């Protein structure tokens, strides 16, 4: 049988023309799908009476959306979570409301969680939309119906750009809304309290770090201040927005939390670089931190641009996960490098990072597994906060250790500077003493060469004059000879005390011994000197030698003139704390009530010994006993 194709073609064109000439009508809900608000108890899920349209291809405008194909919510494939590729698309809900009572009534329409924008329209005459209001701020919108009023509403939803959106349309009675919100928030009270408690700790940390920065002006505290501030905002806003809906909660969960997290990480990396002085101490780690900082800032910029200027939520989600994984991997790298250094300061920070990563991993696992937080121990935010507490604790330990180490280093530096100053002062004093000694040596040499030669010449000439005059007694010549001898002896004593080559105990004792024996020669007084064999090798300055010699000389002179002794003993003893010199005669002793015979001699002797820290005593003991006691520190150390 032959088919008439031209006739079929003509029939098809007629049908198409008829369709084009007809007005498009809106897709309307059947009456059985309308929700009677008069019969709503407190809150009721209206998913089975809701119709949904997803503008996945961006083909519809608000004024033409009613011509699109809405499907019943019960056939909606994304009841639990919206697929990432649809997050940036607009969702439309149709919900029919009717008030069967004889009184005006109102309810709140709650589309689910969570949305950047919630715009509500009423459908008039089946195909016209009338804008009724914006429920974005609170997350729900109030609908008032007159007695026996019937209304079809269209809800336009702009989803929050994160992976945990859901659409669960509900009707809540006006007088039950506060109770509904309270019940929902009470279910997460524990995690909110933990968040606020940790926020309080972070606020105190901010004050603590701010004070440290003001006092020290160290950049490390400025960077940690930034880290603490952004972390405080992150935790506080988590706790503040928990159990709430609306645009602000959507903004925080969809963008701002990631922004705060990455910025706090960047500031923490900068803090670590300055706190550990990685530029000097750990050059490789310093480069790793710098690369991580700039890479995170670059990713954050790209994340922000895509969030606000594109609809590429899949790319945005990828960047968010990439930043988190990158921070996790670099944290592990830091921990490995830190433990290889075996430095307590860097290990403290590494331990804090290790605990933070461990608990953050638990938090991430709970999120990815969609674990329902029936208790606080199943809540992802709880483990994130615990990790942060450990990080703060180890930071404080590290700060305490660093402050203590810097204090020790400062003390050591100050001690080194003090020793250096003392060394320079000592060297300066040594140079002065050396110059003085050189001058003393020069003077003594000049005295010996010039004055000594002159005095010797005078004595020789006086002796020559005496020999030429024969038996004649000329007192003046005798006085010249005697004065020349006496002056020559005094000059020799002065030269001896001034010469640095004589600055030793052995030399002083030898000189006193020689002088004493020569002084009592042909005097009728027997002089005995006792000196120990194990005399220590001690340096005795010219001042001490001169004063001791003058005291001994004065004592010997007093013995010769006033004691009437026949024997004198000079004894040097080594005692526990130093040396003692005894001058003992067997004369008549000393009458302390009649000291005028000695004039100022004893006073001068005592003063000379006081000037050089030598104890002086004089007493009667079968004659006169004079004791000189010199205390020498660490005397037993001398051989």
d(C-alpha 231, C-alpha 264), whole Å: 6
| The pLDDT value given to residue 267 | 94
Per DSSP, the chain holds a count of helices (H) and strands (E) of 16, 16
Could you tell me which CATH number the domain at 503-639 has? 3.30.565.10
- Length reported for the chain: 639
Residue 596's Cβ-count burial label (10 Å; 0-12, 13-18, 19+) is exposed
| The pLDDT value given to residue 223 | 92
> Cβ distance 265 to 327 under 8 Å?
yes
Neighbours of 518 (CB within 10 A): 11
591: left (phi over 0), alpha (psi -120 to 50) or beta: beta
| The pLDDT value given to residue 472 | 65
Determine phi and psi for 593, rounding to 5 degrees: -85, -15
> Cβ distance 331 to 339 under 8 Å?
no
Residues 6+ apart with CB under 8 A from 211: none
pLDDT digits 0-9 by tens, 106-121: 999 999 888 889 999 9
* DSSP letter string, 333-387: HHHHHHHHHT-HHHHHHHHHHHHHHHHHHHHHHHHHTT---SSGGG-HHHHHHHH
> Cβ distance 570 to 561 under 8 Å?
no
- Report H helices in 118-188: 177-186
| The pLDDT value given to residue 550 | 87
| CATH number belonging to the domain at 24-184, selected among 2.102.10.10, 3.40.50.300, 3.40.50.261, 2.60.40.2380 | 2.60.40.2380
Fold match, 24-184 / 503-639: no
Helix (H) or strand (E) holding 145: strand 141-145
- Low-confidence residues of the chain: pLDDT under 70: 1-28, 79, 370, 372, 436-457, 459, 461, 463, 466, 468, 470-479, 481-493, 495, 497-501, 594-599, 634-639
d(C-alpha 489, C-alpha 492), whole Å: 5
Ranges of each domain in the chain: 24-184, 186-414, 503-639
DSSP letter for 217, please: -
Pairing of strands 105-113, 90-98: unpaired
């Amino acid at each position: 049988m032959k088919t008439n194709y031209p006739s079929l073609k003509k029939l098809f064109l007629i049908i198409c023309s008829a369709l084009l000439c007809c007005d498009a009508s809106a897709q309307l809900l059947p009456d059985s799908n309308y929700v009677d608000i008069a019969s709503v108890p407190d809150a009721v899920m209206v998913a089975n009476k809701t119709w949904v349209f997803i503008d996945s291809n961006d083909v519809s405008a608000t004024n033409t959306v009613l011509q699109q194909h809405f499907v019943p919510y019960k056939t909606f494939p994304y009841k639990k979570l919206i697929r990432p590729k649809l997050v940036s698309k607009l969702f439309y809900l149709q919900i029919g409301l009717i008030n069967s009572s004889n009184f005006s009534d109102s309810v709140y329409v709650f589309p689910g969680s969570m949305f950047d924008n919630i715009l509500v329209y009423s459908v008039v005459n089946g195909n016209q939309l009338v804008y009724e209001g914006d429920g974005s701020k609170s997350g729900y919108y109030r609908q008032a119906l007159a007695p026996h009023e019937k209304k079809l509403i269209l809800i336009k939803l702009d989803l929050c750009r994160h992976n945990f959106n859901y659409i669960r349309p509900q009707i809540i009675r006006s007088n039950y809304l506060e109770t509904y919100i309270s019940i929902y928030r009470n279910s997460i009270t524990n995690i909110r309290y933990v968040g606020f408690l940790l926020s309080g700790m972070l606020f105190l940390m901010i004050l603590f770090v701010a004070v440290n920065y003001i006092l020290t002006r160290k950049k490390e505290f400025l960077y940690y201040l930034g880290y603490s501030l952004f972390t405080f905002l992150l935790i506080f806003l988590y706790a503040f927005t928990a159990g709430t809906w609306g645009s602000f909660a959507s903004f925080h969960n969809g963008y701002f939390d990631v922004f705060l997290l990455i910025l706090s990480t960047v500031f923490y990396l900068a803090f670590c670089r300055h706190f550990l002085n990685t530029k000097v101490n750990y050059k490789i780690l310093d480069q790793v931190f710098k690369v991580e900082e700039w890479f995170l800032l670059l990713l954050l910029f790209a994340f922000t641009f895509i969030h606000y200027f594109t609809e590429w939520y899949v790319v945005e989600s990828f960047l968010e996960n990439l930043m988190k994984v990158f921070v996790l991997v670099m944290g592990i790298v830091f921990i490995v490098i830190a433990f290889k250094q075996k430095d307590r300061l860097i290990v403290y920070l590494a331990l804090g990072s290790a605990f933070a990563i461990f608990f953050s991993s638990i938090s991430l696992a709970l999120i990815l597994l969609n674990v329902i937080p029936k208790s606080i121990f199943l809540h992802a935010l709880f483990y994130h906060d615990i990790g942060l507490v450990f990080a703060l604790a180890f930071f404080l330990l590290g700060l305490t250790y660093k402050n203590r180490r810097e204090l020790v280093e400062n003390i050591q530096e100050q001690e080194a500077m003090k020793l250096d100053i003392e060394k320079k002062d000592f060297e300066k004093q040594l140079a002065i003493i050396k110059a003085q000694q050189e001058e003393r040596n020069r003077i003594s040499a000049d005295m010996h060469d010039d004055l000594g030669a002159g005095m010797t010449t005078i004595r020789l000439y006086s002796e020559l004059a005496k020999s030429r005059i024969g038996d004649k007694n000329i007192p003046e010549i005798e006085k010249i000879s005697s004065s020349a001898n006496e002056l020559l002896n005094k000059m020799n004593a002065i030269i001896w005390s001034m010469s640095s080559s004589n600055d030793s105990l052995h030399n002083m004792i030898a000189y006193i011994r020689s002088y004493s024996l020569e002084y009592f020669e042909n005097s009728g007084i027997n002089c005995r000197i006792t000196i120990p064999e194990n005399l220590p090798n001690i340096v005795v300055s010219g001042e001490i030698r001169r004063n001791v010699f003058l005291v001994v000389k004065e004592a010997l002179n007093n013995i010769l003139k006033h004691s009437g002794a026949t024997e004198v003993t000079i004894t040097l003893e080594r005692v526990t704390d130093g040396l003692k010199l005894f001058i003992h005669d067997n004369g008549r002793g000393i009458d302390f009530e009649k000291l005028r015979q000695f004039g100022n001699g004893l006073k001068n002797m005592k003063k000379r010994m006081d000037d050089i820290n030598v104890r002086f005593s004089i007493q009667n003991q079968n004659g006169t006993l004079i004791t000189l006691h010199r205390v020498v520190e660490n005397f037993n150390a001398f051989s």
